[in-house]
Structure 1
């Protein structure tokens, strides 16, 4: 028997024995494996047990299909669980092999779902609740003749209806829609992923140009000339210096100041002005505050000294 990954197991399906042949062959092989002292013989006998019961493991795996995990992967998990069950089975503690192997296989399949099946993993209680809900749905549909409501499921399972609603709400986390899923099954020309828009770099650039256009006109004529040479005509700092008759170091300082002016203008344009002062220059707004008796906030903490303390009147 192999301890390799599930994909290493053979998926070949031998001829299916009858139920009685499987039970008799399994019991005989297990009894012989318990009495032999030859490791090679024991290994072969346990292989026979696995081969006889692969159909059972496969049938259990098929009950979990169409839940978001590939069916072949489920079969491999079930086969590995069957191998472990055959190796650990003890005739002194268990009289029937399948009564021990079936719960082992189911447990491994559920564990595989918990570890690999969830896109966003909910609490384990919610995961187990979903399995109970799936079984209760089928039973209640036969009884009620309609799809059961959350209240029906809560009554049937003896759970709070809020727990049922939470479990139902996480179903999409287990089987999310594929972005490759075709929107039109007949022609398959478009997929769900085609509806997701890409970043429009052209639109972002247009927005940036529109914002800059509103503030560049506030620069002096020479500053606008420097901006045009540097960013539109791709002049180097030395070429700009030669054009306007200054040193390269002076151009570097000019560009730093221009950048600061533009940043300040953009920040100021994003800050809403007080009501009734939109569009007025900053000096006009400050003058309005002084005339209205409200000092300029920028002057409250100036260098003229601290504000006078209020006089406390002794009663």
Structure 2
């Protein structure tokens, strides 16, 4: 039997039109991501030339833009591969790099006669680096301080080599053209770049001692004492019946019906009194905490 070779990548407009669909003068690509990089460069010129004369928002424009993204994903995978050693999920890096690719496509000007690959790769790499810069910190730090940390590290290394000792804040400030306060702020911000596990061992003599052993924790008993201390004078301000109802409800743990029978009032009346007095106590507690 004669073997039939199917080429799934490019379907001409004429063929697609016979099937009842058309995208103007552009070829229809069934699998844009499978286009070889060399072919993608040639086809990209065709698509960019067509996009230059199309109105944004039209079906053909969107098709051209989406196909360019899919067709040039090999550039993103190439750029993302350079960051494989960072340990982050490769899928996340590719997604971020795709944002750079989209920006490059939207800003590319075919009339400048620059290869799209040369234009796009810096956008893709820049977006990935920005991702690492913004997400690699253990705590959120403003971007200006993230950038100052890098400059501080360079200045510290340069002055240490030149002076043979650790530079002072004043010396760093002079080299970096910053105030001493700004240098100190950058130093403090540097502490946010890395974090230490609470299970990390402290000291070399006792390996069982962990950092968490030296960090204080909230004491529920102390918090309860503070609440009682705040609540006591508020209870004194209530009348005898209100205090009696609260005692029966929360100390004796009686139901509202049982309290009503004990005091000779209806369950509905007990409910209203409880709600009113609890709201009064709650407001007093909040005001006291403020």
TM-score with structure 1 length normalisation?
0.45
Q: Which is greater in Rg?
A: 1
